[in-house]
């Protein structure tokens, strides 16, 4: 007798991934708040209603995990890490290419000072990659990611 797997909706997987990302980017001390605001802005998770991108990488990872394990939720930290790492590369790509717009709004570096202050955008991009769970001080460390 075959067992039936639950139907997974992409919108639910994306919402759960974004919730995990926001949890990771949550409470930090005031000295780094601006950098985390830039990361949320770039990700489209700043509450503005701007496009957040497709989130294909985490969705595919969660679907693959669910096909093996059944429940995708234990893989959410990894999905968040994949999306943060991908977006890290996009911030740096925008700087390197001189792109002033992504997803129909100003890029992080264009919004926060243009070429003269690209360093802040680089820091935001680097911090996004720093939020990947392999770093022991990170909130996802020890959560199976």
* Domain assignments of the chain as residue spans, ordered by start: 10-130
Most confident option among 29-33, 45-49, 132-136: 45-49
Please tell me which residue, 116 or 31, carries the higher pLDDT value.
31
* Gap between the Cα atoms of 55 and 86, Å rounded: 10
Name the residue with tokens 């202050």. Answer: 117
pLDDT at residue 55 greater than cutoff 90: yes
Q: What is the pLDDT of residues 109-138, one digit of tens each?
A: 888 876 555 565 565 656 555 555 544 444
How many other C-beta atoms can be found within 10 angstroms of the C-beta atom of residue 96?
Answer: 9
pLDDT at residue 79 greater than cutoff 60: yes
pLDDT at residue 28 greater than cutoff 80: no
Q: What is the pLDDT of residues 6-16, one digit of tens each?
A: 789 999 999 99
CATH node for 10-130: 1.10.600.10
Distances in whole angstroms, Cα of residue 24 to Cα of each of 3, 69, 96, 101:
35, 24, 27, 26
- Mean pLDDT estimate for the chain: 82
pLDDT at residue 46 greater than cutoff 80: yes
Average pLDDT of the segment spanning 29-40: 87
Has this prediction a pTM greater than 0.85?
no
Predicted pLDDT of residue 112: 81
Average pLDDT of the segment spanning 37-65: 93
Per DSSP, 135 falls in state S
Please tell me which residue, 122 or 45, carries the higher pLDDT value.
45
pLDDT at residue 145 greater than cutoff 50: no
Residue 106: enclosing H or E segment and its boundaries? strand 105-106
């Amino acid at each position: 007798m075959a067992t039936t797997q639950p139907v997974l909706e992409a919108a639910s997987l994306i919402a759960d991934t974004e919730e995990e990302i926001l949890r990771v980017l949550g409470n930090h001390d005031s000295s780094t708040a601006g950098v985390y605001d830039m990361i949320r802005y770039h990700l489209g998770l700043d509450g503005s209603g701007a496009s957040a991108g497709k989130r294909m990488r985490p969705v595919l990872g969660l679907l693959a995990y669910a096909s093996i394990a059944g429940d995708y939720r234990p893989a959410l930290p990894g999905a968040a890490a994949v999306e943060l790492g991908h977006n890290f590369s996009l911030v740096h790509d925008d700087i390197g290419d001189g792109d002033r717009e992504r997803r129909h709004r100003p890029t992080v570096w264009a919004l926060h000072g243009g070429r003269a202050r690209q360093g802040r955008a680089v820091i935001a991009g680097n911090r996004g990659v720093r939020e990947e769970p392999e770093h022991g001080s990170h909130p996802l460390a020890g959560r199976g990611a």
